A and B are shown apart, each in its own frame.
Chain A
Amino acid sequence: MHTLLRADWRKAFVTAVMFAVSILFLLPFVWMLITSFKVEKDVFVYPIQWIPREWNAIENYKEVWFGDYPFYLYYWNSIKVSLLTTAISALVSALAAYGFSKIQFAAGKWLFLIVLFTYMIPGQAILIPQFILYRNIGLFDNHFGLIVLGSFSVLGTFMLRQFFMGVHQEFIESAKIDGGSHPRIFWSIALPLVKPAVATYAILRFIWTWNDYQNPLIFLRTDGLFTIPLAMQKFTSLSGEFYSLIMAAAVSAIFPLLIVFIIGQKSVIEGIALGGVKG
């Protein structure tokens, strides 16, 4: 009884210490949020005002969302690009994963090795030829090009292949004996069985696409096409010293995704742990 109580106290103590450490991780976000509510002259007042003396929240956010660099437009761009990339990538990956795991054909093994090889190529080593290619086939500076670029990540193929391999081959064989073709088996037997894995991959792909800065930076030129990260950077370099506005933009860039994350938290964390995947 006594040792049990002591263990409880120790756990409470460790929890308290860990809580203090976690503040280190959250404080920059808290500062960002509070600063976005302030008037500009109060941003750097020291000691830090954790409760704004003078509220300017509505004006700040109005400026960010509907000012010279209207975030509603960038939101729409980001939503469009992220959703379409996620949908196409999930479909293409699931098809390939099924092909590599559930259909036995000689070329499959070799082609899988090729795909595995491309996984090791760092994306930045191929930016220049991609850029030249895009300039020449008219995919430069438009959303379609950006979506195509994000849709052929082989990571999804690897992840989903693992799960398709867990689907018993007997299911497939017996469906085939019953006259089922591969497209039918894929769509109505195999895919439903790995639906949670597809959902996890989709959430991850959505987050990565939403946060991607490098590809939009290189493959977009027109302001009106910018996605959130690129707009965020543009906004910062143009707003210069207006830190309250910059923080309102940062909050706008971070919080919606945070909500997606907190809702899908379990799948995101499990997916990352399971596949050991990294954007």
Chain B
Amino acid sequence: MARTMKSSPPPGLHEAGNNRAGTNRRRGFGRSLRRGEQLWGMVFISPMLIGVMILVLFPIIATLVLGFADWNFVQGWDGIRWVGLQNFRSLLEDDIFLKSIRNNMIFLLTVPIYMIISMALAILIDRHVYMKGYFKVAYFMPYISNIVAVAVVWQVLFQPSYGPINEVLRSIGIASPPKWIADPNYALVSIMMISVWISIGFNLIIYIAGLQSIPKDLYEAAEIDGANGWTKFRRITLPLLSPTSFFLLVTGIISTFKVFDIIAVMTQGGPIGSTTMMVWYLYDTAFVNLKVGYASSIAAVLFGFVMLITLGQWAAQKKWVNY
């Protein structure tokens, strides 16, 4: 859960500094003990810390710096020109970038959709079905499967002229079914549908865990008071699931900003730019067109979005969530 991520001092941290009153000898002993702890602490965390510094912390600083440069991979280090805010100004007039942002915003719609479906399925699976294990595995399969393979399978299923989906649609009387990922008007929606299909498994599992932490006697008490199913849902299930929903909402929103694999495999941002999204455009700019500076400014914007959501989450958590 999100709240388990919050740092709380481990038990015993407060006692550590409390035995100040003591003989000189004891104080000296305590100090060397503390220095020993310091040393061992650093030894234990340093592999992770060094790795994170080199592979994450230094690169994020580099990204933010490179965002102010005009630079192409092939020019070498001498080719860097510092252009101030020029990249960011260009982004505001860049149609593909603006379209990517717009598509990212549309993609946000998938989050509430798969959350509602997952919650409904979770409630049914948790209390109203036999063979719970089967259902968990069945709904989880798209999430656990290799996304490249899944995307390729859907690409074939969606094949416009003789793919199985359109054959079925034609046989039930729809004369001209949509061309799905080949049609600029349907491509993004098709990808969103697949994304919902994939995400349900994860959300479902989290919701089932959330449901299992609701005390059963709350429902029993409500039944004695004559509450019907809907009232129980409105008054007990929904509010007590709110921390879970909040967590899924935030991680869901953040993950829509990171959508890449499915676009790279299925549409490459096309047809005619209809499925371009921020990370796809970043990849295309950096690793296909080799415009490092410009791509870094896109990365900086991406970073900004994700930071805003994360900080917003902390601010909102207190207000919205019923614990």
Contact = CB atoms under 8 A, between A and B. Distances in A.
**A and B are partners in one complex rather than unrelated chains:** yes
B299 A125 contact: yes
B138 A130 contact: no
B59 A130 contact: yes
Interface residues of A, number: 104
Contacts of B292: 128, 132
B242 interface: no
Contacts of B287: 131, 218
A249 B152 CA distance: 10
Given A14-B124, A124-B260, A118 B1 contact: no
A47 B171 CA distance: 9
A228 B152 CA distance: 13
A129 B58 contact: yes
Interface string B139-154: 1111011111110111
Interface string A205-249: 001001101100110000000001110110010000001001101
A150 to B, nearest CB: 10
Given A126-B63, A214-B261, A258-B141, A120 B295 contact: no
A128 B296 contact: yes
Nearest to B200: A25
A133 to B, nearest CB: 7
Nearest to B155: A236
State the majority secondary structure of interface residues on A.
helix
A92 interface: yes
Contacts of B205: 269, 272-273
A25 B146 contact: no
B222 interface: no
Interface in A55-101: 92-93, 95-96, 98-101
Nearest to B301: A125
Interface string A18-39: 1001100110110110010000
Contacts of A181: 40
A261 B265 CA distance: 24
Interface of A: 10-12, 14-15, 18, 21-22, 25-26, 28-29, 31-32, 35, 44, 46-48, 92-93, 95-96, 98-109, 111-116, 118, 120-133, 148-149, 151-152, 154, 157-158, 162, 165, 168-169, 173, 181-182, 186, 207, 210-211, 213-214, 217-218, 228-230, 232-233, 236, 243, 246-247, 249-250, 253-254, 257-258, 261-262, 265, 268-269, 272-276, 278
22 contacts: A21-B121, A31-B153, A48-B164, A96-B49, A100-B45, A104-B10, A109-B7, A111-B45, A115-B52, A120-B306, A127-B299, A128-B66, A129-B59, A129-B60, A131-B286, A131-B287, A152-B48, A157-B48, A218-B287, A228-B146, A230-B148, A254-B150
| Top-9 shortest CB links A-B | A99-B44, A152-B51, A273-B209, A96-B48, A129-B59, A129-B62, A126-B59, A105-B41, A99-B45
Interface of B: 1-2, 4-5, 7, 9-13, 16, 34, 37-38, 40-45, 47-49, 51-52, 54-60, 62-63, 66, 121, 124-125, 128-131, 133-142, 144-150, 152-154, 156-157, 159, 162-164, 167, 171, 197, 200, 202, 205-206, 208-209, 247, 251, 254-255, 257-258, 260-261, 264-265, 279, 282-283, 286-287, 292, 295-296, 299-300, 302-303, 306-307, 310
